[in-house]
Amino acid sequence: MRNPFQPFAVAALLLACTAGRSQGMAPTTSLVYPGVNGRLVYVADSLGNKIPDFSNAGYRGGGVPIPTVQAKATVWPVAGDNAARLQQLIDSISALPPDASGFRGAILLKMGQYLLEKPLYIRKSGIILRGEGTGDIGTILIGRMPKEASPKGGGRGGRPALINIAGEAGAKPDENSKQTITDAYVPVGATSFSVAAAKAFKKGDRVLVRRMGNAAWIKAIGADSATVGRNRWQPFDIHYDRTITEVKGNTITIDAPIFCAIESRWGGGALMRYTDERIEQAGIENLRGVSEYDPSVRTRTYGNMDRDKLDPKYQYQGEEYFSDEAHYFNFINISNARNVWVRNITALHFGNSVVQVNAGSKWVTVQDCESWEPVSIRMGARRFTYQVNGQLCLVQRCFSQKGRHSFVLQGHEASGNVFLDCKAVNPYSTSEPHNHWVNGVLYDNVAAPLTARYWDFIIGWAGANIVFWNCEGDFLVQRPPTAQNYSFGHVGLNAVIFNAGLQDLTKPGGHVESMDAHVAPRSLYRTQLRERLGTEAVAVIAKNAGNSE
């Protein structure tokens, strides 16, 4: 995004920020700041791009309390494998009719240890698995992968999670309803645009906003050249899953913004309805998951972290650690689902993700979760602890120990997601948008090394229109062509701290303001949520409702 500010406006803002510091007040930023009436003011660039409203992230679009669903069944652990018993119970509750809120019922897993030799699947809406706590005397699910099913080699592919919330199908666009977006440019943060003919659309319609990216755009962002090597990009479309809130003439207004500008010269955009077969109203809560591994498998090789075995010179020897990979890599996978939650869980020894939200899923909340002592080789395709590849998801108050990309996103369908009040300790790499134009993500009060960058020749531009807000830890933020990345109020060193020799540092820097001093408001997400839905919405998502902004 180009800087639109007039010199006098910039001077006035800088003076105000300096005065705030001298009086012990938090400074404000030049692009989004509290106005005279206390509400946020957003300053757009010359094309209309602005810092987006991220408050639609989370269960049921943010600001909605996660319900406590009545238990319809109670189960106690038995000696030996419990997987078949639990799956049968899940299937029996799945056969019940849903209530008016879409819930079939919760299954209460009483305290004790449940050995599971097969993964569990929730395939219907309205099912909740609830334990009696994450501690040693709580509900503990122990995943044991039979030797005949153990994957050969490492990496994340080819194996299920221990628990899978998985609809059979997702959202499918209705191409017959497609209408071309007629605006030459729809900016980042926009919630309205014009189409050729809106008469077939109405308020409440579920729609996909398609942002096209043609070969000319791929060339403009430098992803068609030999510098991206084997992963040279091809043209692709981004789909924003939205609900229509107003139709006025041929102007459509949607419930949440777009996070990558739609521009006619890059292919333009379109609007269409879709059919939705995703499951919803499912949750996992109040339990511990453990991935059983072979402690005799150890290594001293750290690998080259983010480059796998492409360049052996970056491998080095360190302290011996557990590195078995023939075990469960993911605790919970969420696929083809919407309005789902994971809360109050602890995970031990999983080689990759505690929670992985796959592309096509929407409105997921993951909160108050912990990951401890992952077991895998410390190199590429491992330890993506909280991985969000869907849309409008909220990860809050979550903890990662010894992760690599602890709070991470992958793919251009990952957009509108928020990491709030999260922390990574002893990380082996950065939290980040990881590949292929992840767009519109907010890291809000996250304590972890962070990057939003051009990610060497393997991946290219990892993320666009990414916002770091009042975060702590070393970071790198770079500006992609046709987009921007931001850091506001960051406390930490602005530098590459992992694989410095492997990154392209010739790329231009992103927009950075208020180094080493947090800005007001304290939380961008909570402030945006309060302004959209009121103070009660903030209270229901807060662990301590007395938190100030």
Alpha-carbon distances of 316 from 221, 302, 460, rounded to whole Å:
34, 6, 25
Closest among 494, 381, 468, 358 to 428, alpha carbons compared = 381
Residue 378 confidence (pLDDT): 87
CA angle 460/489/384 to nearest 5° reads: 40
- Confirm if 240 and 189 have CB atoms less than 8 A apart: no
Give pLDDT, residue 154. 47
Alpha carbon distance 74, 72 (integer Å): 7
* Cα-based distances in Å from 94 to 97, 259, 262: 8, 36, 41
The ranges assigned to domains in the chain are 7-42, 66-170+278-317+329-374, 172-276
Count CB-CB contacts under 10 A for residue 326: 18
pLDDT at position 310: 45
| pLDDT computed for residue 249 by the predictor | 98
Neighbours of 282 (CB within 10 A): 28
Cα 481 to Cα 2, 48, 508, distances in angstroms: 11, 16, 9
pLDDT of residue 148: 61
Instruction: Enumerate the β-bridge partners of residue 113.
Output: 140
State the Cα–Cα distance between residues 441 and 433, nearest whole angstrom. Answer: 8
Taking a C-beta distance cutoff of 8 angstroms, is the pair 383, 48 a contact? no
Residue 145's pLDDT is 87
Residue with tokens 């945006």: 528
pLDDT of residue 506: 81
Would you say domain 172-276 falls under CATH 1.10.357?
no
Three-state DSSP class for residue 196: coil
C-alpha gyration radius of the chain: 23
The b/e string for 229-255 (b: 16+ C-beta within 10 A; e otherwise) is eeeebeebbbbbbbebeebeeeebebe
SS3 of 498, please?
coil
Which tokens hold the place of 432?
């980040």
Amino acid identity of residue 389, one-letter, is N
pLDDT of residue 3: 39
Q: How many residues does the chain have?
A: 549
First to last CA, the chain: 28
Tell me whether strands 418-420 and 423-425 are parallel, antiparallel or unpaired. Answer: unpaired
CA distance linking residue 460 with residue 502, whole number of Å: 12
**How would you write the pLDDT of the chain (549 residues) with one tens digit per residue?**
433 333 333 333 443 443 344 446 789 999 999 999 999 999 999 999 999 999 999 999 999 999 999 999 999 999 999 999 999 999 999 999 999 999 999 999 999 999 999 999 999 999 999 999 999 999 999 999 876 666 654 445 568 999 999 999 999 999 999 999 999 999 999 999 999 999 999 999 999 999 999 999 999 998 887 555 567 899 999 999 999 999 999 999 999 999 999 999 999 999 999 999 999 999 999 999 999 999 999 998 765 444 444 455 555 567 889 999 999 999 999 999 999 999 999 999 999 999 999 999 999 999 999 999 999 998 888 999 999 999 999 999 999 999 999 999 999 999 999 999 999 999 988 999 999 999 999 999 999 999 999 987 678 899 999 999 999 999 999 999 999 999 999 999 886 544 444 556 788 999 999 999 999 999 999 999 999 999 999 999 997 533 445
Regarding beta strands 317-322 and 298-301, do their DSSP bridges make them parallel or antiparallel, or are they unpaired?
antiparallel
For residue 399 the two structure tokens come to 């903890």
